[in-house]
Amino acid sequence: MGDFRVRNITDDYDRNNMYHHALDDIEAFDLLLKEKMFVQAPVHIGAEQELCLVCKHW
């Protein structure tokens, strides 16, 4: 899970590509919420997974 080949964003193409992928991830997360695809019980905490939520003004 994940890719450890991280590099700096150097131009507009890189920035647009990053935002495109981030928005795809948010869309997928929204679908999971709408379709109630998360396990309701028992509650599990995936400590290795991180999620950052921001407000609409960010």
- What is the spatial distance between Cα 8 and Cα 18, in angstroms, rounded to a whole number? 11
Q: Mean pLDDT in the chain?
A: 81
pLDDT of residue 43: 74
Higher pLDDT, 20 or 55: 20
Non-local (6+) Cβ contacts of 36 within 8 A are: none
Higher pLDDT, 11 or 46: 11
Give residue 7's pLDDT band: very low, low, confident or very high (50, 70, 90).
confident
Number of domains forming the structure of the chain: 1
- Full-prediction pTM beyond 0.75? no
- What is the spatial distance between Cα 2 and Cα 9, in angstroms, rounded to a whole number? 18
- Residue that has been written with the tokens 């890719």 in this structure: 3
